[in-house]
Copies of this chain bind each other. A is one copy, B any other.
Amino acid sequence: MHFFNKQAIESLDPEDIQKAVAHAYNLVLDNDFHMPDRMHVPRGENTLLLMPCFAGDYFATKLVSVFPGAAASGLPVVNGIVMLADNHTGAPLAIMDGAALTARRTGAVGGLAVACLTPENICTAGIIGAGVQGLSQAQFLLYNRKITTLWVADLHQEAARAMVKTLQTTHPRVSFQVAETARDLVDACQVVICATTSTQPVFEAAPAEVKGKTFISIGSFTPKMKELPDAVITAADAVYVDTPFAAQESGDICIPLKNQVVSRNKIQPFAQLVRHPVDTEGDKTWFFKSVGMALFDLTVASAVYRLGKEKNLGQVLDV
């Protein structure tokens, strides 16, 4: 049995992680997986999530805890592990840092959306929300497109500055800018990735003002969270979701649906783009919403296990 820590998970190529995410979408298209509803254990203000999934040679269970009070002590709010096991024998194969794996696979989910829903030659991009997820989104964005200027916005400008500093070391040729406001960022960028847990849209705009851009929302995962104004879903030529649950679970989709701002048939599964790409050249507006699923964790964990062993990453557990 192997243990893969944050460093091991982060050292793998974005290409390999993104391929693993694409593989998950292929399994969705083939309906070749088993993903029971996640188990949700509330305990006061804390939550434990148990997310099992089975596909092919592996099964994985992600255990994630969310302890909001930990932030006050400067500790991570989200913790967890992923256990990967052999789907033929049941034998445990690996334990992985759940937070690092989640950040990485969510980055790749955003990255694949960038690859499928932006013109190849875009050069300006923005990240709203400079947390762990925002950083991972930026890394996969920069892997997918030759961005010359990347804007970062956060309610706490310090956080945005810290993220810019981190990115600058790995991407010295990109110009990184901290935006005064999220709206400034949107105006300056061809693709905008939101990674916040905001319950109010992080900017206001009319539909005409967001036309021709690509919006990727990664943050909102409850019906009360909504990162983007209705203008985006209204202006969008097409709306894609990573799972059908996104339409129920994320306020960015369920609120406009409820208010009849958008019709249900405008919302389509992203998976189809993996086999039938759309033409992104021209002045179209795209909106992708992800809430994530255990299948992504499974395929990415499988890739970490296979490649990690090949590259001698991780720690061998003395079973």
Contacts of A48 in B (CB 8 A): 52, 59, 61
Task: Count how many chain A residues have C-beta atoms less than 8 Å from C-beta atoms of the other chain.
Answer: 42
Which residues of chain B are within 8 angstroms of A97 by Cβ–Cβ distance?
A: 319
Report B-chain residues with C-beta under 8 Å of the C-beta of A67: 88-90
Assess the B75–A91 pair: CB atoms within 8 A: yes
Interface of A is mostly: strand
Minimal Cβ-Cβ distance residue in B for A317: B3
A172 at the binding interface (Cβ < 8 Å)? no
The oligomer's copy count stands at 2
A83-B63 contact given A52-B41, A315-B318, A319-B6, CB 8 Å threshold: yes
A54 within 8 A of B: yes
Q: Are B90 and A66 in contact (CB under 8 A)?
A: yes
Contact B50 A52 (CB under 8 A): yes
Name the distance in Å between A68's Cβ and chain B's nearest Cβ. Answer: 9
A276 to chain B, nearest CB (A): 31
CA distance A65 to B70 in the complex (A): 32
Residues of chain B within 8 A (CB-CB) of A78 are: 90
8 Å CB contact of A70 from B52, B61, B90: B90
Tell me the residues in window 34-70 of chain A with beta carbons closer than 8 Å to chain B beta carbons: 34, 36, 39, 41, 43, 46, 48, 50, 52, 54, 59, 61, 63, 65-67, 69-70
CB of A61 within 8 A of CB of B50, answer yes
Asked if A89 and B63 make an inter-chain contact with CB atoms under 8 angstroms apart, the answer reads: no
A295: Cβ under 8 A from any B Cβ: no
Instruction: Give the shortest distance, in Å, between A91 (CB) and chain B (any CB).
Output: 6
The answer to whether A63 and B61 touch across the interface, beta carbons within 8 angstroms, is yes
Q: Which of B75, B81, B90, B95 contacts A89 (CB 8 A)?
A: B75
- Alpha-carbon separation in the docked complex, A16 to B63 (Å): 28
A85 at the interface (CB under 8 A from B): yes
A5 at the interface (CB under 8 A from B): yes
A90 near B79 with CB under 8 A, answer yes
Q: Tell me if B90 and A81 are in contact (CB < 8 A).
A: no
In the complex, whether A11 has a CB less than 8 A from a CB of chain B is no
Q: Does A201 contact B (CB under 8 A)?
A: no
B90 & A46 in contact (Cβ 8 Å cutoff): yes
- A315–B313 CA distance with the chains assembled, in angstroms: 17
Q: Is the CB of A5 within 8 A of B70?
A: no
**Can you sample 9 A-B contacts with CB below 8 Å?**
A3-B3, A3-B95, A36-B39, A67-B89, A73-B89, A79-B89, A79-B91, A81-B92, A83-B83
What is the distance, in angstroms, from A297's C-beta to the closest C-beta of chain B? 14
Q: Is A256 an interface residue (CB 8 A)?
A: no
Whether a CB of chain B sits under 8 angstroms from the CB of A131 is no
List of 9 A-B pairs having minimum Cβ-Cβ separation, nearest first: A67-B90, A65-B90, A39-B39, A79-B90, A70-B89, A50-B50, A75-B89, A36-B41, A5-B319
Given contacts A61-B63, A81-B95, 18 further A-B contacts (CB under 8 A): A3-B317, A5-B317, A5-B318, A34-B43, A41-B52, A48-B59, A50-B50, A50-B61, A59-B65, A67-B89, A70-B90, A70-B91, A73-B89, A79-B89, A80-B92, A81-B83, A95-B95, A315-B318
